[in-house]
A = this chain, B = another copy of it.
Amino acid sequence: MSGTWGKNIKYTIFGESHGEGIGIVIDNLPPGLELGMSNIKSELRRRQPGTNNLNTTRNEPDEFDILSGMFKGRTTGAPLCAFIKNTNQHSKDYDAIKNFIRPGHADFTGFVKFKGFNDYRGGGHFSGRLTAAIVFAGAIAKQLLSQQNISIISHVYRIGDLCDVSMMKEDLLLENCCNLSSLSFPTIDPAVGIAMQQKISDIKALGDSIGGIIEAAVVNLPTGLGSPFFDSLESTISHLIFSIPGVKGIEFGDGFDLAKMRGSDANDQFYIEDHKVRTKTNHCGGILGGISTGMPIIFKAAFKPTASIALEQTTVNINELENATLKIMGRHDPCIVPRALPVVEAAAAMAILDCLPLTN
C-alpha cells in the first residue's frame, strides 16, 4: 500500500478515525508561501460534520496544528506536516460491534489485508475522516493553482433521481458558477438544491442513505498539460478521485454518453477566435490525447450511498465465522455527497498541480 502520492509535491497521509488524530505531510512546497489559514479553515468547514441536520452529529472542529515546514507565517520549503487531533470519538460504539463487519465498509477487506490487526474503530485508517487531511492539502494546492489563475469548482449534480443542470450545458457560463463553494448546498439550479436536501432529509428519516454524483470543472487550465498514455490527465485525475472513499465511477466530458454518439457529433471541431485555437463544443471534457485542450476540464464522480445505515442488515461475525444481523447506531450522514464537494475539489487540485511544471 502507499499513503504517499505525487511527483512534484508529495503528499503522505496518516491517521485513524479514533486514534490520536489524522495528518498529512506535504513535501516540496515552494518556500515563502503564506498559507491563507482562514481559507484552509473555511475549506475544512465545508467538509466538516455537524454543520446542519443533513449530516452526522459528530461535531469536531477539525482544528489543525502545523508541526513543521512553517516559520514566521510562511512555508520554509521543508516538508510541512499538519495534524488534526481527534476530540469527539465515541470509540466504545465500535467495541460492541467489532466482529460484525459492516456491509459496504472496508471492515472485511481491511481485516483480511491487515490480518486482523487493523484499527476497527470507525473504520480506522479507512475512515472518511481522513479526507480532512486531503481537504487541508487541497486548500494549499488550490492556492498554488490560483496563483496561475486556475480554479476548481463543483456542485451536487445528482442525488438519487434528482438532477442539477450540468456544467456540460453548452450555453452555461462557468464564470457564473464561481460562487458555488460559498453555498451551503451548491447546485446550479437552486430549486433542485432545495428538493435534494428534502430528499436527503426523507431518506434520513427512514434510517437509510442515498448516493449521488458530483460534477466538477477545472477552469483556466492552459493548453498542453498532461501526457499521452500512463500520465494522461484522465489517469492522474481518476487516480486521485478514486482515492476518495465511496467513489465508484468517473467520466470526463460526455463520458458514458459518448458510447452512444457518432464521431460526427462527438468530435469537438476547432475554430480560430482571437488568434487562438478553440473548440465549439467540449464533448471531450477539455482533454485530448491525455492533454488539456484549454477548454474547461469537466468530470463527474459517482458516490455510492453511505454504507452506514440504521436499518437491519445481514452480515457475519468475522471472529466466529457465523451469520449475524446488524443495526448500525452511531452518527452517520444519510448522504456523503454534500460534504464530499471540497474533497473532490482537493483531489482534483492535487492532480492538476502535479501536471504543472513547478516554478521553484
Residues of A at under 8 Å CB distance from B?
1-5, 7, 10-16, 19-23, 25, 27-28, 31-32, 65-71, 74-81, 83, 101, 103-106, 108-110, 112-119, 123-126, 130, 158-161, 203, 208-213, 223-232, 234-236, 238-240, 242-243, 245, 247-256, 258-272, 275, 277, 279, 283-285, 287-293, 300, 302-309, 311, 313-316, 318, 321-323, 357-358, 360
Contact = CB atoms under 8 A, between A and B. Distances in A.
Contacts of A74: 117
A160 B260 contact: yes
Given A3-B28, A104-B266, A259-B303, 11 more contacts: A13-B229, A19-B67, A75-B117, A76-B114, A103-B279, A109-B289, A239-B239, A248-B253, A248-B258, A249-B256, A256-B256
A33 to B, nearest CB: 8
B234 A242 contact: yes
A259 B213 contact: yes
A278 to B, nearest CB: 9
A111 to B, nearest CB: 9
Contacts of A268: 103-104
B7 A27 contact: no
Contact of A302 (B25, B126, B251): B251
B117 A32 contact: yes
A41 to B, nearest CB: 19
Given A16-B78, A256-B213, A267 B68 contact: no
11 contacts: A2-B10, A101-B270, A104-B288, A108-B293, A230-B239, A235-B238, A248-B256, A251-B251, A269-B314, A271-B316, A272-B316
Contacts of A65: 20
Contact of A313 (B240, B269, B285): B269
A10 B21 contact: no
Given A271-B316, A303-B258, A208 B263 contact: yes
| Residue from A4, A116, A313 with most neighbouring chain B CB atoms (10 Å) | A4
| Residue from A67, A208, A209 with most neighbouring chain B CB atoms (10 Å) | A67
A261 B305 contact: yes
A117 B249 contact: no
A3 B25 contact: yes
| Residue from A1, A2, A110 with most neighbouring chain B CB atoms (10 Å) | A1
A121 to B, nearest CB: 8
A284 B269 contact: no
